Structure 1
Amino acid sequence: MNPELRRALDQGLRRVPGMDAATRLLAVRIETVRALLARRLDENPLPVPDAVTPSDIPSVAELGPGDRVLAELDQDGFAFAIHPADVPFFNRRSEKMPRLRYRLHVVLRRGYVCVRKRFIGQPRNASLDAHLFSLLGLFFYNEAASLLRLRDLPSVPRIRDVHLATRALFIDYVRGKTLQQQLAERGEKVLDIDLAPLGQLFDPDRDRREIEAFAQGEGDDYRDRVEEIVRAMNARGVAPLDVKLGNVLIGEKTGALYWIDFERAALEGTPRYRERLAEHHDLVNRWFGLSLPGGGA
């Protein structure tokens, strides 16, 4: 197609309400289904070094390595064990903060310890468009397509299975703490559970506090490694737009960093990718103080 005609067509489609999201949904759904039909998940790459194995789970000695739920992950990313023997392994606090948009469980599945991420919808105060496209599976397929593109990166936990009927993803479970949790251990009030009693769960001032605390503390220790991860993801056409300290995990065994959330990532080949890539770089600069000119690759 003539480039000028294509640009005019793209601009026209943008004016149609919901067309941009609908086109993205179609693209990521096709990409995911094609990967499944090509049996991409039959390949079994080794887990990243900080991934948990069945032998690490205390209750496996008693109940065996068969498929079952091991723990629930709450809104702040803390785990709560199902079996009493696993409490010392998983639990790091007593109070659980319910999740809002999806359910996260640590499960044993086909010989792997996985996070099962099951998409359930949007919070009540979300926009009508967000509810609609969540119902149609935009965030589920978006994350599946992103993880399939990034499956060979050492800084992203491996996706092991995609269950279309229940809209569930199975991803290797990496044990550690997020950069946000690390700030909270220093006494910063940055977790959802800190703000929920005040009715400030979506307090915009929290972002500023997190960014400033990170810059004054751990920023210099992690900045270069975050940049390496971002450039590697961008090189594969993935630009996460949910950029925050809570989406960067520090592996417990090695101290390596992992990016762990892709439901709102921009993917190359979908509408307005270049604009969203620029937005991604602005967010990375804001949160981590990184400048990524030239598309980040």
Structure 2
Amino acid sequence: MTPELRRALDQGLRRVPGMDAARWLLTVRLETLRALLARRLDEHPLPVPDAVTPGEIPSVAELGPGDRVLAEIDQDGFAFAIHPADVPFFNRRSEKMPRLRYRLHVVLRKGYVCVRKRFVGQPRNAALSAHLFSLAGLFFYNEAAALFRLRDLPGVPRIRDLHLATRTLFMDFVRGQTLQHKVAEGGQKVLDIDLAPLGQLFDPDRDRREIEAFARGGGDAYCGRVEEILRAMRARGVAPLDVKLGNVIVGQKTGGLYWVDFERAALEGIPHYRERLAEHHDLVSQWFGISLPGDGGA
């Protein structure tokens, strides 16, 4: 096939409805399967410094370190223990806010304390395209591909396992507070549980309040380290589009920062990556006041 014919075919395919999403899914699915065939999960890199170990879990002394569920993580990122002995370790509030798009649990898995993320669908009021993408497994494969690319970075929890049939990911559990939690501790109503009594979780003014409160409360102290993580991820071709304070965890042991949630990240090699990278830059500037340079080679 000549280069001219290849370009014409590519331009024609782009005009087919849904073709970009199909190419995106194919790209991240193949990348994930290649990582599995290369036995990347057998490499067993050391956990990140703030990852919890089985010996820190109180109930392990009673029940042992075998695989089981330890806690459920709610919509606002708070953990709720399953075993009574673990309540002082995990629980930080009494009321649980149910999750909407996936299920998160802290589990013991093959000798590691992991977050188990199981993709179960979209809220009923989500756009039809989001439901279709979810059914096709786009978000699951996109996050898996991103985590494999970032597996040895210090600011990203390690992927430990995945299950294709149930679209489930396992990654290091980092105990700590999100930057959003820190803002909420200052009295700002920025958590989903704060909006639940209003009958909806979408509040157009919440992002503004959260950003302003973060800046007033000393957010500058974190922005330099956030920029380091973002630049390191960008060097691996990963640009998160779900940019928010709730996706940055401050580790309890060392105070290190960790970025989580890559289901909607832009990955180098997917359709319209340039446009998505520009969106990423805009979001980073809005939330953290960080100006990232463009990339003419993207």
Which residue is equivalent to 1:119? 119
Corresponding residue pairs, total: 297
Q: Residue 25 in 1 paired to residue 25 in 2?
A: yes
- What does 1:267-282 align with in structure 2 at a 5 Å threshold? 267-282=267-282
Q: 1 CA distance for matches of 2:218 and 2:93?
A: 23
Cα displacement (A) at 1:12: 3.5
Cα displacement (A) at 1:11: 4.2
With the length of structure 1 as denominator, give the TM-score of the two structures.
Answer: 0.97
Cα displacement (A) at 1:223: 0.8
Cα pair 1:24 1:270 within 8 Å, conserved: yes
Q: 1 CA distance for matches of 2:284 and 2:295?
A: 12
Which residue is equivalent to 2:202? 202
- What does 1:55-204 align with in structure 2 at a 5 Å threshold? 55-204=55-204
Q: 2 CA distance for matches of 1:14 and 1:206?
A: 36
Q: CA distance change for structure 1 residues 271 and 89 in 2, over 3 Å: closer, same or farther?
A: same
Cα displacement (A) at 1:215: 1.6
Runs of 5+ unmatched residues, structure 2: none
| Paired amino acid for 1:252 | Q
Q: 1 CA distance for matches of 2:8 and 2:156?
A: 37
Cα displacement (A) at 1:6: 5.6
Q: 2 CA distance for matches of 1:150 and 1:125?
A: 32
Cα pair 1:243 1:287 within 8 Å, conserved: yes
Cα displacement (A) at 1:199: 1.9
Cα displacement (A) at 1:295: 2.8
Q: Residue 226 in 1 paired to residue 236 in 2?
A: no
Cα displacement (A) at 1:165: 1.0
With the length of structure 2 as denominator, give the TM-score of the two structures.
Answer: 0.96
Cα displacement (A) at 1:14: 3.2
Q: Secondary structure at 2:295's aligned position in 1?
A: helix
Which residue is equivalent to 2:237? 237
Task: Provide Cα deviations, 1:15-36, integer angstroms capped at 9, x if missing partner.
Answer: 3221111110000000001110
Q: CA distance change for structure 1 residues 176 and 5 in 2, over 3 Å: closer, same or farther?
A: farther
Q: 2 CA distance for matches of 1:5 and 1:291?
A: 39
Q: 2 CA distance for matches of 1:7 and 1:88?
A: 60
| Paired amino acid for 2:251 | G
Cα displacement (A) at 1:214: 1.1
Compute the RMSD of aligned alpha carbons.
1.6
Q: Secondary structure at 1:171's aligned position in 2?
A: strand
| Paired amino acid for 1:14 | R
Q: 1 CA distance for matches of 2:55 and 2:5?
A: 58
Task: Provide Cα deviations, 1:136-161, integer angstroms capped at 9, x if missing partner.
Answer: 10000000000000000000000000
Q: 1 CA distance for matches of 2:282 and 2:5?
A: 30
When structure 1 is superposed on structure 2, of 12-21 and 195-204 the one drifting more is 12-21
Cα displacement (A) at 1:8: 5.1
Which residue is equivalent to 1:288? 288
